Amino acid sequence: MNTSKRTRDLLLRSTYLNVDSIVAELRALRLASLESRNRHDRPPRLPSRRILASVAEGLSAAMFPNRLGSSELADEGIDHYVGHTLNMTLRELMVQIQHELHYNSGLEVLGDQDRAQSVAITQAFAKRLPEVRSLLETDIKAAYEGDPAARNVDEVLVCYPGIMAITHYRLAHVLHGLGVPLIARMISEIAHSATGIEIHPGAQIGGSFFIDHGTGVVIGETAIIGQNVRLYQAVTLGAKRFPVDENGTLVKGNLRHPIVEDDVVIYAGATILGRITIGRGSTIGGNVWLTRSVPPGSNISQAQMRQEVFEGGAGI
């Protein structure tokens, strides 16, 4: 008997690795966890990340069929392709919405009310797709006009990680507002995994938004970004502190991320924390650490921030 076959035979013997006892221990831990969260032995299924990735891809193809759809599309078949793709994709999305509503209900069986709500959410979402498409057009144009390396808008659409992240965000933001925040977060995180750009679906972002390069960008849940804003890689729009209640539990949902007004440029590595406002038309230089509001038209550099810190007697 050769070595590989002998090893395989040993691995197939559960008694050799004592798999049965491990399965029993894992089951006990799983049941204890479910009990601590007031869940029953067979909790509802969560939405599927794999299927939601397919949904995001299908919606992108329906919005941009000539570039993100089938490469064999003829002009006369585009509407048929878009209709077919939307029908299939929205049905998949509706099932995932049902899973989230069922999970949140804590009931053994999906109720009729949740079933009807899943249909209503899917229909409301579908009606917003033209609006999402129009916003994405402004984002693509901003990327093309803002990057001298971009040769045409099609290159921006199919190549730029910032556009992929923004596309997922804009779809997720609509779903977040319609009451399925878990699905919204999962769709955003699919793009985060692929691009290194993290945009919380709860953030509010205006049109003509451009993320150049993008890796390491973080935009928090309560951030508000105006029109015609440009971010470079490794920019953080984050929270300065995390308040807790009398029990020491983190307070959820408070306004803790920056407001970035129209026509702002934030260069690579800048960290902007807290509920502060970056005034319209400002430029924030690379590697700046900023925790205070700045008026419109400001030009903040790393050297200015260092001078301010040391003159105030801190940071020494």
When pLDDT is averaged across residues 126-138 and rounded to a whole number, the result is: 97
Per-residue model confidence as pLDDT tens digits over 234-246: 999 999 988 888 8
When pLDDT is cut at 50, 70 and 90, the band that residue 315 belongs to is: very low
Residue 231, helix vs strand vs coil: strand
Share of the chain above pLDDT 70, in %: 88
Q: Does residue 274 form part of some domain?
A: yes
Domain check: are 64 and 155 in the same one?
A: yes
R_g of the chain, CA atoms, integer Å? 24
Task: Specify the CATH number for the domain of residue 310.
Answer: 2.160.10.10
Query: For residue 239, what are the domain limits?
Result: 216-316
Per-residue model confidence as pLDDT tens digits over 8-39: 665 555 455 678 888 888 889 888 877 766 65
Residue-level pLDDT at 39: 59
One-letter amino acid of 71: S
Residue 64 has pLDDT above 60, yes or no: yes
Q: Does residue 62 form part of some domain?
A: yes
The mean predicted confidence, pLDDT, of the chain is 90
Domain check: are 64 and 170 in the same one?
A: yes
Per-residue model confidence as pLDDT tens digits over 152-184: 999 999 999 999 999 999 999 999 999 999 999
Domain check: are 51 and 189 in the same one?
A: yes
- pTM of structure: 0.86
Domain check: are 50 and 177 in the same one?
A: yes
Q: Does residue 246 form part of some domain?
A: yes
Last residue of a domain, one of 151, 168, 196: 196
Domain check: are 79 and 139 in the same one?
A: yes
> C-alpha dihedral over 116, 117, 120, 126, to 10 degrees?
-120
When pLDDT is cut at 50, 70 and 90, the band that residue 313 belongs to is: very low
When pLDDT is averaged across residues 194-203 and rounded to a whole number, the result is: 98
Dump strand ranges (E) for the chain.
Answer: 198-199, 204-205, 210-211, 218-219, 224-225, 230-231, 236-238, 259-260, 265-266, 271-273, 277-278, 283-284, 289-290, 299-300
Helices (H), 2-76: 3-12, 14-17, 19-36, 49-63, 65-68
Domain check: are 49 and 192 in the same one?
A: yes
Residue-level pLDDT at 264: 98
Domain check: are 225 and 192 in the same one?
A: no
Per-residue model confidence as pLDDT tens digits over 82-116: 999 999 999 999 999 999 999 998 888 889 999 99
Residue-level pLDDT at 305: 65
